[in-house]
């Protein structure tokens, strides 16, 4: 029997992850709010308020886990917002793990990186699509979420407001994390280039100093 060829590094296979539990939990949170929003009302309950609450809770859990755990463990990035107690101004703070050429630095797992950025950008895109559907084609959304709400005009109007509210909250939470981690990644890359430049300059100074010292010692 021929040996089964192992998937190449960086493949979208969770078994290649350096942190498989973190990765699976991250992907589960990313998908769960969308699945609840789309299918819970169709398969299990017609209570829109319950679906609304569960979806918002899952979005909040996804936001927290991505911001504080998944980003740090999967790609070595983290961000937060600080408020200056004197002026009241708020600013974003970006933190990245040490680069491979720095003390304590290590390479980010290619599979973790691909999964992270793919999930980070895909979820907001899907929520944008759902928001457009909520505006343009209410019939499909409410057939999925609240079943028979079209039979009563009052229930329909309330459902429209709550679904639009759900998609707006989802967009705010997901796009905030997407923008923050994108800026954090750019900051990390810029810091890495600066660090490489400083390291090269320091190395050149050390080599030059050693050569000059040898010349004076020989003369």
Write down the domain spans for the chain.
Answer: 14-218
pLDDT at position 208: 40
pLDDT score for 192: 57
Query: Distance between CA atoms of 67 and 29, rounded to whole angstroms?
Result: 12
Which whole number is the average pLDDT over 72-95?
86
Can you give the pLDDT at residue 171? 81
- pLDDT tens-digit series, residues 98-146: 776 667 667 888 999 999 999 999 998 998 888 777 777 654 444 444 3
Using pLDDT thresholds of 50, 70 and 90, give the confidence band for residue 163: low
Q: What percentage of the chain has pLDDT greater than the value 70?
A: 66
Of the pLDDT bands very low, low, confident and very high (cuts 50, 70, 90), residue 52 is: confident
Residue in this structure with the two tokens 């505006």, named with its chain if needed: 135
The whole-number pLDDT of residue 93 equals 83
Q: Indicate the average pLDDT of the chain.
A: 73
Model confidence, pTM: 0.71
- Distance of CA 165 to CAs 29, 48, 73, 170, Å? 20, 12, 32, 9
What angle is formed at CA 113 by the lines to CA 108 and CA 114, rounded to 5 degrees?
Answer: 145
pLDDT single digits (tens) 28-37: 999 999 999 8
Span 44-72, average pLDDT: 87
Question: For 67-163, where are the E strands, in sequence order?
Answer: 77-83, 90-96
Each residue of 194-210: pLDDT tens digit? 444 433 444 334 434 44
Q: Give the number of C-alpha atoms closer than 13 A to the C-alpha of residue 158, restricted to the C-beta side.
A: 11
CA distance 145 to 201: 61
């Amino acid at each position: 029997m021929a040996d089964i060829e192992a998937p190449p590094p960086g493949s979208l296979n969770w078994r290649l992850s350096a942190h498989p539990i973190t990765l699976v939990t991250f992907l589960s949170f990313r998908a769960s709010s969308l699945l609840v929003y789309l299918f819970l009302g169709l398969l299990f309950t017609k209570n829109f308020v319950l679906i609304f609450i569960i979806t918002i809770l899952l979005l909040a859990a996804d936001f927290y886990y991505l911001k504080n755990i998944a980003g740090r463990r999967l790609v070595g990035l983290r961000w937060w917002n600080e408020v200056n107690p004197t002026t009241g101004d708020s600013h974003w703070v970006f933190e990245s793990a040490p680069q491979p050429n720095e003390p304590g630095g290590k390479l980010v797992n290619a599979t973790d990186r691909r999964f992270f950025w793919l999930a980070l950008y895909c979820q907001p895109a899907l929520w944008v699509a759902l928001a457009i559907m909520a505006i343009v084609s209410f019939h499909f959304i409410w057939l999925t979420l609240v079943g028979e709400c079209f039979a009563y005009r009052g229930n329909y109007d309330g459902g429209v407001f709550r679904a639009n509210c759900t998609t707006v909250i989802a967009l705010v939470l997901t796009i905030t994390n997407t923008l923050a981690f994108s800026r954090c990644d750019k900051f990390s890359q810029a810091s890495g280039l600066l660090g490489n430049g400083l390291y090269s300059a320091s190395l050149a100074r050390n080599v030059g100093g050693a050569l000059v010292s040898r010349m004076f010692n020989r003369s």
